[in-house]
Amino acid sequence: MKIYDILLKNGTIIDPSNNINSKLDIAISGTKIAKVF
């Protein structure tokens, strides 16, 4: 299991270039986004 510094849950992600408008979780390690799921 990977450990992240910050986990933001149920955030609304809007990315028009990839046609994404969803509630997702974002994992942050250090100063970088490590994973969006």
Is residue 7 a part of any domain in this protein?
yes
pLDDT tens-place values along the chain, 37 residues long: 789 999 999 999 999 999 999 999 999 999 999 999 9
**How many domains, the chain?**
1
Report if residue 1 sits inside a domain.
yes
Q: Is residue 32 part of a domain?
A: no
In contact, 12 and 25? CB cutoff 8 Å? no
Is 33 among the domain residues? no
What pLDDT does 11 receive? 96
Q: Can you give the pLDDT at residue 2?
A: 82
Q: Residue 35 falls within a domain, yes or no?
A: no
Asked whether residue 8 is assigned to any structural domain, the reply reads: yes
pLDDT of residue 25: 97
End-to-end Cα spacing for the chain: 15
Enter the pTM of the model: 0.77
The torsion region of residue 30 among left (phi > 0), alpha (psi -120 to 50) and beta comes to left
| Residue 15 lies in domain | 1-27
